[in-house]
């Protein structure tokens, strides 16, 4: 479902987003009337203390969670009314994910973890092989392609995760605490890689505690108690 009059330069518009959780008969407001617009090709960091609502916001943006109130428009599509099947297709082809814990399949090599994303999207075998090699070169892991996750450092695993996230050329990358389990030097390398991804025209939204993110992103917004601070 399209959104009439949406600026064509906008990748994301979140309007009046509220997310309530009911636990033990008590209403906890995780997101409180969030309004956020993100340009195509922008690298945005959402910062804030643990429990401020960063991850909940990213989950709502990505359609992994539904807002109690409000709408999310991604690339001219109002995802608020999407069916489960439509959401699966959106995430498969239009959104790449990078997680704090890497999320790699332990019995697959680096190359196989990347290729799996292409296989799920229905890419033919020849293109899967070519694209996987291209991505391994992009993230500097050509010589580690046959290593399994337990044979890779944390930074190398996260580079594989970034390569997997961009395998299908999604216009939007969601990165939740991508450097949370990495040392500061390796974390900077990951943000440098995400910066390169953004410079290629991909919109990148990351939630992070890492102070080094400020050196790499286009814009920083801060959250506190479920609200975006002005």
10-225 fold: Rossmann fold (3.40.50)
Nearest to 178 by CA among 61, 71, 100, 90: 100
Q: What is the pTM of this model?
A: 0.89
Nearest to 136 by CA among 159, 152, 154: 159
Does residue 84 register a pLDDT over 90? no
Confidence of residue 91 (pLDDT cuts 50, 70, 90): confident
Q: Which token pair is 136?
A: 């391994």
CB 14 within 8 A of CB 72: yes
139 three-class SS: coil
Kindly report the number of other CB atoms within 10 A of residue 170's CB atom: 21
Q: Output the pLDDT for position 184.
A: 87
Domain range summary for the chain, segments of one domain joined by +? 10-225
Q: Output the pLDDT for position 7.
A: 59
Confidence of residue 5 (pLDDT cuts 50, 70, 90): very low
Q: What mean pLDDT comes out for the span 177-199? A: 90
Question: pLDDT tens digit string along 95-151?
Answer: 999 988 888 999 999 999 999 989 888 888 899 999 999 999 999 999 999 999 999
d(CA 66, CA 62): 9
């Amino acid at each position: 479902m399209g959104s009439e009059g949406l600026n064509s330069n906008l990748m994301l518009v979140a309007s009046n987003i509220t997310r309530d959780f009911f636990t033990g008969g008590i209403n906890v407001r995780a997101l409180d009337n969030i309004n956020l617009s993100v340009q195509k090709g922008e690298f945005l960091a959402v910062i804030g203390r643990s429990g401020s609502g960063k991850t909940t916001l990213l989950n709502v943006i990505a359609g992994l969670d539904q807002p109690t109130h409000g709408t999310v428009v991604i690339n001219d599509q109002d995802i608020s009314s999407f069916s489960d099947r439509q959401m699966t297709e959106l995430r498969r082809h239009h959104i790449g994910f990078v997680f704090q814990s890497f999320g790699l399949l332990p019995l697959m090599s680096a190359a196989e973890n990347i290729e799996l994303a292409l296989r799920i999207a229905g890419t033919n075998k020849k293109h899967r092989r070519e694209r996987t090699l291209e991505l391994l070169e992009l993230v500097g892991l050509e010589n580690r392609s046959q290593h399994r996750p337990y044979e890779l450092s944390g930074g190398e695993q996260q580079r594989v995760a970034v390569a997997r996230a961009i395998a299908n050329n999604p216009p939007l990358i969601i990165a939740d605490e991508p450097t949370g389990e990495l040392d500061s030097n390796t974390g900077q390398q990951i943000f440098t890689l995400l910066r390169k991804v953004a410079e290629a025209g991909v919109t990148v939204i990351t939630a992070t505690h890492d102070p080094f993110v400020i050196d790499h992103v286009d814009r920083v917004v801060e959250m506190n108690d479920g609200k975006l601070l002005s």
